[in-house]
Each structure stands twice: as structure tokens, then as C-alpha cells.
Structure 1
Amino acid sequence: MENLILKKELSNHELHLLGSEMEKRKKSTVVTWLLWLFLGGFGGHRCYLGRVGSGVAMTLTLGGLGIWALIDAFFINGMLKKKNEEIEATILQEIKQVNQKAAL
């Protein structure tokens, strides 16, 4: 929700810049699902989404003997959406900082 408010304050050029940066930095749905499919028991998808601690825990427990990895199938899209929202928030803050420096 906060991202939406910050986006309303941006010019067309800044929105284009945001879109361009998001295309470069966002986490891919396909890559996330492939990592889950092939490395789900080792937490590969969690490491890719920046959840290294739980990814290591999955590695040590072999994905809770597969149960944890199976449960993640239901939550992976939410984790991906949250991570991409965090990336967007970071980019918005960077744009805001550049604007503040330019105003000085």
C-alpha cells in the first residue's frame, strides 16, 4: 500500500525508471518454481527469495523430510510477491533520495 502512495507522487519519467529497474531486479516466477521443483528439499527457492536462514534450515532438515517443501508449494507465490514488493520499495526509496539530492 505504501508503494502505491509513493508511486502516485512520481513523474512519468520516474515511473518509467521504476519499471525499468523492476524488470532488472525483480525475482522471476519461473525461476522460483524451478528452484522449488528441483531444489525445494534443500531450500533453493527460499535462498533465491532472500530467506537464507530458512533456506539453510531446509537444507539441514532436507525440507523437513519433504513436508516443508510441499507446504511451500502453497505459499511460494505469496513469498515471491512480498519479495518483489520489497524490491519495489527499495527502488522507490532510491528514486526519492536522488530527488532530494537534486533539490539541494
Structure 2
Amino acid sequence: MAILQKQGLTSEDLQLLNSEMLKKQKSSGVTWLLWFFTGGIGGHRFYLGKTGTAVAMLLTLGGLGIWTFIDLFLLNGMIKTTNENIENDLISEIRLYKDAEQNSAVSV
């Protein structure tokens, strides 16, 4: 899916995308450390932007540990999905910016 999203972007756009991804993407290492040390209170989910389920984990102490254990198997997928969503949002922003530039150039 990401390859189709990147179609039509110039090399400058791709460099900008890469630069912004380096700043905004979520680190696997940080996520795993948060799971290990704060998994029972949802620290890793807060980091990944899953605030609703993180609050639920916080209030239930990770479902008394069950939810925390289940996240052991789901965590890599959550990291990948979060980073894909970040990349898609950045691509959309780049396209909006390019469209706005083209529209302003046409109206002048």
C-alpha cells in the first residue's frame, strides 16, 4: 500500500517524507522497553498513541496482567501499523502542500 501512496512524489518529496519519518516514527526498542517496564499500566500503548486502550490498561492494571501478556504477541503488529499510519498521514500532508502550491501558482 505504501508504494502506491508514494507514486507521483518527486525525489524531494521522498526526501522530505524520509526526514519526517525519522523524526516521527515510533521506535521498536522504546516500545518494547515500555512494555517490559510499564506494560501493566499501558505505557507502551500511550507511546503508540492508543490512548483509549492505554487508559483501560491503566485502570485494570493490564487486565491483571492478562492483557499485558497478550500484548507480547501483538506488539510488533501495533508498532508496524502505527508507523504505517504516520507515513500515510505525512504523505497526505505532502500532497496537500503540493496541491496548495499549484493552486496558488495558477491563481497568480
Provide the TM-score with structure 2 as the length reference: 0.92
Equivalent-residue separation in structure 1 for 2:4 and 2:72 (angstroms): 31
Structure 2 stretches of 5 or more lacking a match?
A: 104-108
Shift of 1:76: 0.3
Deviations 1:4-23 (A, max 9, x none): 21212111111111000000
The answer on 1:92 being equivalent to 2:99 is no
Query: CA RMSD of the aligned region, Å?
Result: 0.7
Distance 2:15 2:39 in 1: 35
Cα distance in structure 1, aligned partners of 2:3 and 2:38: 34
* Deviation readout 1:56-92 (Å, 9 max, x if unpaired): 1111111111111011010001000000001001100
Residue in structure 1 matched with residue 102 of structure 2 by the alignment? 103
> Partner residue of 1:9?
8
Letter in 2 for 1:100: D
Unaligned runs of 5+ in 1: none
Aligned equivalent of 2:106: none
How big is the shift at 1:102? 1.0
CA deviations over 1:21-45 (Å, ceiling 9, x no partner): 0000000111100100000000000
